[in-house]
Amino acid sequence: MKKRSPVQVMTKLIVLVKPLTGFMLLAVLLGLVGHLCAAFLTILGGYGILSVLGHGPSMAAVGACLIVCALARGLLRYGEQTCNHYIAFKLLALIRNRVFQALRRLCPAKLEGRDKGDLISVITSDIELLEVFYAHTISPAAIAFLFSLIMAVFIGSFHWLLGLFALAAYGVVGIAIPLLISHLNGDSGQKFRDRSGDLSSFVLDSLRGLSELQQYAQGRERMAKLTEKTYELTQVEDRMKRQSGRNRALTNTVVLVADLGVLFLSIWLYQKNALSFDGVLIPTLALFSSFGPVIALADLGSTLQNTLAAGNRVLDILEEEPVVEEVSGKPGTAFFGAEARNVTFSYEKEQILTDVTVPIRPSTILGISGRSGSGKSTLLRLFMRFWDVQEGQVCLSGRPVAQINTQDLRQMESFVTQQTHLFHDSIRNNLRIARLDATDEQIQAACKKASVHDFIMSLPQGYDTPVGELGDTLSGGERQRLGLARAFLHDGPLMLLDEPTSNLDSLNEAVILRSLHRERGGKTVVLVSHRASTMSIADQVYTLEQGRVC
């Protein structure tokens, strides 16, 4: 995780407000005027006392101003909160959209092996926490700054010492205390968010493996581990809440001292004949009634740590650099063969492929065999350009894949992995992912080619049958055949099949292979498998051992 200071995190989060700058300025204006109205309700009460004593404006004028300020305060407060929450929830939607775009850009290289539970925590609870920042931090901070200046000038109009004292009090409550609390909290907010993500991941993992936990009687041990992780999270949260209580006590103490301070200072100035009676009463009441905006900032000193930690985790995803950048703007490419030429590739320091050359002639079935871990699947992923090679070239139609438009590359290739992912939806919608505009006839034709149509029609709801979460209601072989049907529906000229029959028995494997050989319609097929029987339909077979062609 990238280390950022709180100021850096806030700056980057504020930049995201740019599309809604107008609403933010309106929220600041409404909030500023609203807080001034609230403060002057008390101040006008002071002028009412002066009116009774015969030293101030008429009671009618004071009463009229009180009514106007009271009504305006309610309306302005409503307007400010409406603007702030519109900004917050609009931005949360924009941020979620940007996060999903970032995940799409990072996939699959940067997300392979990434903790899915932690990602879910970022997308849900971390982004949701940013509502506090956008609705209750940015405009309140601007309002508190402007409000403090205006009130300091107003109080200072009676005597410059009073104005200076008020400005210092505002600074201590609104700036010094939040900075102090933030420093004392340290990285508690980051620890809380990290442990929250870890707990979410553990719960998700436990739910997915519930049947195995029951089968091997490990439920009690897993529950103990869950309790331990929950306790660790609550310990961090408890420390944060205790610090929040100390923050509130410190803030209230400083406010009380400041209120007494301005009272004693104004009395002292009155005794020195530097102030009249109204110069004692009005500034004192003004300071008493004007700490609301800066107290809101002081309260953020503890809660903001959690929010900024969440923002830091969101920024990590938004600013993550992909392993492979998408290509666009290049001339279009038509498929007429492919080739891996002297390819060397490593995952970080682990070398997977060494000087591999595999030509793929059009309209043929090429088999790639070898033991597990020999680099077969990696080679297919290089044709998909999930990663770039360190040495050599991977080419389609004579052009390196790094110089082909990503959209064209995906359109030319149909990739079937060992594990077919199915969404919690109907069979029809799961197949339509391969081609959104596919008709029912095209879907059925693809399923017939994959020898899965008859099975689907035997289900109570046919193609509208829901498959359950991760396709749990189907067997591994049925999921694999649906993955092959997707490839046929996508209709790319190059089919990359990674162990397409690994979950099938020999009888069903023969049916699939016969269908693949008969129904491929002139497509080029690269067939990866460790089974000798699967290689029976290949026109040519290459064997990979320890990352080299034998």
Flag whether pLDDT at 179 surpasses 80. no
Do the Cβ atoms of 232 and 198 come closer than 8 Å? no
Q: What is the pLDDT of residues 485-495, one digit of tens each?
A: 998 899 889 99
Do the Cβ atoms of 166 and 156 come closer than 8 Å? yes
Q: Which long-range contacts (CB under 8 A, 24 or more apart) does 223-231 make?
A: 226/199, 226/202, 229/195, 229/198, 229/199, 229/202, 230/199
Flag whether pLDDT at 466 surpasses 80. yes
Range(s) of the chain covered by CATH 1.20.1560.10: 6-318
The model's pTM: 0.68
Give the pair of three-digit tokens for residue 487. 């490839």
Flag whether pLDDT at 506 surpasses 80. no
Q: What is the pLDDT of residue 168?
A: 93
Q: What is the pLDDT of residue 269?
A: 92
Worst-scoring range by mean pLDDT, 4-8, 174-178, 345-349, 400-404? 4-8
Residues 6-318: name the CATH superfamily: ABC transporter type 1, transmembrane domain (1.20.1560.10)
Range(s) of the chain covered by CATH 3.40.50.300: 338-549
Give the pair of three-digit tokens for residue 324. 């492979």
Q: What is the pLDDT of residue 257?
A: 93
Backbone φ, ψ for residue 416 (5° rounding): -115, 120
Backbone φ, ψ for residue 56 (5° rounding): -135, -170
N-to-C CA span, the chain: 42
Do the Cβ atoms of 368 and 376 come closer than 8 Å? yes
Confidence of residue 117 (pLDDT cuts 50, 70, 90): low
Q: What is the pLDDT of residue 501?
A: 77
Q: What is the pLDDT of residues 415-426, one digit of tens each?
A: 888 878 888 889
Flag whether pLDDT at 293 surpasses 80. yes
Report how far residue 429's alpha carbon sits from residue 433's, in angstroms, rounded to the nearest whole number.
Answer: 7
Average pLDDT, the chain: 85
Flag whether pLDDT at 503 surpasses 80. no
Q: What is the pLDDT of residue 332?
A: 85
Q: What is the pLDDT of residue 214?
A: 78
Give the pair of three-digit tokens for residue 173. 């409550």
Q: What is the pLDDT of residues 197-230, one digit of tens each?
A: 788 778 877 877 877 787 777 888 888 888 888 8
Confidence of residue 115 (pLDDT cuts 50, 70, 90): low
Q: Which CATH number fits domain 338-549: 3.30.420.40, 2.40.128.20, 3.40.50.300, 3.40.640.10?
A: 3.40.50.300
Average pLDDT over residues 506-520: 79
Worst-scoring range by mean pLDDT, 78-82, 181-185, 422-426, 433-437? 181-185
Confidence of residue 186 (pLDDT cuts 50, 70, 90): low
Worst-scoring range by mean pLDDT, 31-45, 176-190, 239-253, 453-467? 176-190
Flag whether pLDDT at 299 surpasses 70. no
Report how far residue 470's alpha carbon sits from residue 484's, in angstroms, rounded to the nearest whole number.
Answer: 17
Average pLDDT over residues 380-400: 90
Q: What is the pLDDT of residues 57-101, one digit of tens each?
A: 888 888 899 999 999 999 999 998 888 888 888 888 888 888 888
Q: What is the pLDDT of residues 119-158, one digit of tens each?
A: 777 777 788 778 777 777 788 888 999 999 999 999 999 9
- Crossing angle of helices 292-318 and 188-208, in 10° steps, is 50
Q: What is the pLDDT of residue 303?
A: 65
Q: Which long-range contacts (CB under 8 A, 24 or more apart) does 325-331 make?
A: 326/105, 326/406, 327/402, 327/403, 327/404, 327/405, 327/406, 327/409, 328/405, 328/406, 328/407, 329/405, 330/403, 330/404, 330/405, 330/408
Confidence of residue 114 (pLDDT cuts 50, 70, 90): low
